[in-house]
Amino acid sequence: MYRIYSMSLVWIVLVCSLMIAGYNGGVGVYAQQTNITCTQPSTSFYSLSYQLINGTTINFDQFKGCNDLVEKFGTTEFVILGFPCAQFMNQSPGSGDEILLTLKYIRPGNGFQPAFPMFAKSNVNGDPSTVNPVFNWLKSGCGPITQTILETSLISWTPVMTNDITWNFEKFLVSKTGQLYKRYSPQTLPELLAEDIYNLIDADY
């Protein structure tokens, strides 16, 4: 289980086979449900691309079917895509190199290096023209976890929208065929995704 205390991340979990591990954190600015079922956007997850934290742009179609996960990520079960964001109490204020050094030497420290693709820091909320297009895609198919805002003082972006990412460690589940499946609140324990993942495998969704 990864425990990243000082880093502000939003995760996409791409299912390949069975299991999921992760960390749930953050207090949040919205009242939470556990999860919501999403509708499929007009385009596929595999049509997307974005920059890694080292500046290299990758096309998400390389994850299609997760055929190369053993070689690249050491697992055939799933891959976590991590997206640093400084919109939640500015918890990821540094450059890409500084973010990686924070993970390695401070929190969690002890030489930690992410075993999953870490993407360039980006906005996940606010004006859609400035938001990471991956999150525009995710939010186009997944409505809000809640309609109730709890802590307006913690919101640093504008405009505020009902389907905003609510806090660190929200999770989105994408099937092995690239279809958007569910959105989970930051408080959802990672092990609670397991049943949904099994259902996706059984349904070949």
The pLDDT tens digits for 50-101 are 999 999 999 998 887 554 443 454 555 677 888 888 888 766 566 767 777 7
Domain boundaries, the chain: 9-203
d(CA 137, CA 39): 11
Percent of the chain with pLDDT over 70: 72
Architecture of domain 9-203: 3-Layer(aba) Sandwich (3.40)
Closest CA relative to residue 141, chosen from 183, 186, 188: 183
Alpha-carbon gap, residue 151 to 131, rounded angstroms: 22
- Tell me how far apart the alpha carbons of residues 61 and 168 are, in angstroms, rounded to a whole number: 26
Q: Between residues 15 and 155, which one has the greater pLDDT?
A: 155
The answer to which of 23-32, 80-89, 162-171 has the lowest mean pLDDT is 23-32
Dihedral of CA 56/172/198/48: which sign? negative
| Residue 182 pLDDT > 90 | yes
Q: 33 or 52: whose pLDDT is higher? A: 52
Contact at 8 Å (CB) between 113 and 82?
no
Q: How far apart are CA 59 and CA 43, in angstroms?
A: 14
Q: How far apart are the C-alpha atoms of 128 and 147, rounded to whole Å? A: 19
